[in-house]
Amino acid sequence: MAQSHLLANRSTCTRLSVGATIVRDRRIIAGGYNGSTSGGVHCIDEGCYMIEGHCARTIHAEMNALLQCAKFGVPTQGAEIYVTHFPCLPCTKALIQAGIKKIYYANDYHNHPYALELLEDAEVETVHVPYEPVMDAAFSEKQLAFIAELLKTLETQGTDRETMKKYYEEAQKLFANGV
């Protein structure tokens, strides 16, 4: 899911940043984000081209990921997709037709009742996975360095041994998963 959120940062549509990652056999086979056609005008440059409440300029992230597979001859039958937002109805239909068997999504987004019905009929499993971003590694290293410096300063200023032990243990717990 983190990969899909990274891809969403590349989105060129100003209405919603969406990212999608297709995985087969636990390997990433394609990724996409919502944006314009290759070489076309982007929403971030000239605004969205709205027709009936939708940006006509944008190709959705799921579709871009599927098209990447088609372009390079990568089969999608039995694959899974990780998407930052629940797929719209047209993307849902495309995912079903492409043989996607499981959809992981981080955010609900206009979950269309017919899309839900189609997914159920096609036996495509949907899994809501709220995304909790992991700490940026560089940021974690800066935090760890700061805490280490702070602990050394406390130690050199004569903080008692038992208190220092408690601080070191707490710092170790805080950063055990982040670095």
What are the catalytic residues? 62
Query: Could you write out the DSSP letters of every residue in 65-127?
Result: HHHHHHHHT---TT-EEEEEEPPPHHHHHHHHHTT--EEEEEE--S--HHHHHHHHHTT-EEE
Query: Could you write out the DSSP letters of every residue in 8-48?
Result: HTT---SS---EEEEEETTEEEEEEESBPPTTS--HHHH--
Q: Is 56 helix (H, G, I), strand (E, B) or coil?
A: coil
* CA distance readout (Å), 60 to 30, 75, 100, 132: 14, 19, 16, 23
